């Protein structure tokens, strides 16, 4: 069961920011290049899917930053105990993308097995969310593995009861002897600022540097 706690917006330390930016529907987005050299080598050496490894690391990092766990639940501001990633997959048969979810596990190797099983089960999907309902405590991760981009933007018209948290990653390329991968983080300004996004990038880089 997904657990959360409601937040009193009268005493919330960013209450003014929250109400203002929710009323405007403002999101912020930043793209940065992350050094994934160690991660690429680790995945190749252990036959781990690169996207599943990044999903696991993103799950670990995002859940250390309280602001990314804020959401609207039952019409009220709340903070999830944990949030989990959905991810994009692509059908080689239909040439369509779709959004999937795999249960998070205690280790990246366990999650990799769950990820591969889920992708295989829905390999020929032609609907956006083939699994039906997704967990409520999610952040979205999409992948554009064909393009090493400088920036990515996806804008949605959201109502005042929705908070967006989306991460998009692209193709990694060898730049001066290092594999660099573009990551774009888009998040509702009501819950996070540039500081929190920079913290995510900093923590992710440290996690991916670990062999």
Q: Which range has the worst mean pLDDT, 99-108, 161-170, 191-200?
A: 161-170
User: So where are the chain's domains?
Assistant: 4-209
Question: Coil, helix or strand for 14?
Answer: coil
pLDDT, tens digit, for every residue of 104-122? 999 999 999 999 999 999 9
Q: Please state the pTM of the whole predicted model.
A: 0.94
pLDDT attached to residue 72: 94
- Per-residue pLDDT band for 160 (boundaries 50, 70, 90) equals low
Structure-token match 């209450």, residue found: 15
pLDDT attached to residue 156: 65
pLDDT attached to residue 155: 72
- Per-residue pLDDT band for 53 (boundaries 50, 70, 90) equals very high
> Cβ atoms within 10 A of the Cβ of 121, count?
13
- Per-residue pLDDT band for 183 (boundaries 50, 70, 90) equals very high
For the chain, give the mean pLDDT.
Answer: 93
The CATH fold of domain 4-209: Chloramphenicol Acetyltransferase (3.30.559)
Rounded mean pLDDT of 159-183?
A: 90
Question: According to DSSP H, which parts of the chain are helical?
Answer: 15-24, 37-46, 50-62, 108-121, 194-209
At residue 37's C-alpha, the angle toward residues 32 and 40, to 5°, is 110
pLDDT attached to residue 5: 95
Residue 125 has pLDDT above 80, yes or no: yes
Distance CA 104, CA 110 (A): 9
pLDDT attached to residue 162: 77
> Cβ atoms within 10 A of the Cβ of 89, count?
19
Cβ contacts of 60-67, under 8 Å, gap ≥ 24:
60/207, 61/200, 61/203, 61/204, 61/207, 62/139, 62/200, 64/203, 65/196, 65/199, 65/200, 65/203, 67/191, 67/192, 67/196
- Per-residue pLDDT band for 21 (boundaries 50, 70, 90) equals very high
Distance CA 85, CA 68 (A): 12
Distance CA 42, CA 62 (A): 21
Residue 95 has pLDDT above 90, yes or no: no
Please, are residues 169 and 144 in contact by the beta-carbon 8 Å criterion? yes
Residue 1 has pLDDT above 60, yes or no: no
Distance CA 14, CA 137 (A): 21
pLDDT attached to residue 94: 84
pLDDT, tens digit, for every residue of 62-84? 999 999 999 999 999 999 999 99
- Per-residue pLDDT band for 130 (boundaries 50, 70, 90) equals very high
């Amino acid at each position: 069961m997904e657990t959360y706690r409601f937040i009193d917006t009268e005493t919330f330390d960013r209450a003014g920011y929250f109400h203002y930016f929710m009323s405007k529907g403002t999101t912020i987005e930043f793209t940065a290049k992350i050094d994934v050299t160690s991660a690429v080598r680790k995945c190749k050496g252990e036959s781990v899917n690169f996207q599943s490894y990044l999903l696991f690391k993103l799950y670990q990092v995002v859940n250390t930053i309280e602001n990314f766990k804020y959401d609207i639940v039952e019409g009220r501001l709340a903070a999830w105990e944990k949030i989990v990633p959905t991810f994009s997959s692509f059908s080689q048969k239909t040439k369509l993308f779709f959004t999937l979810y795999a249960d998070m596990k205690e280790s990246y190797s366990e999650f990799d097995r769950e990820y591969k099983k889920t992708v295989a089960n829905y390999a020929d999907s032609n609907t956006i969310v083939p699994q039906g309902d997704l967990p409520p405590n999610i952040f979205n991760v999409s992948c554009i593995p064909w393009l090493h981009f400088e920036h990515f933007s996806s804008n949605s018209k959201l109502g005042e009861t929705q908070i967006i948290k989306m991460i998009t990653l692209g193709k990694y390329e060898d730049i001066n002897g290092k594999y660099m991968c573009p990551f774009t983080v888009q998040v509702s300004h009501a819950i996070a600022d540039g500081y929190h996004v920079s913290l995510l990038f900093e923590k992710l880089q440290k996690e991916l540097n670990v062999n």
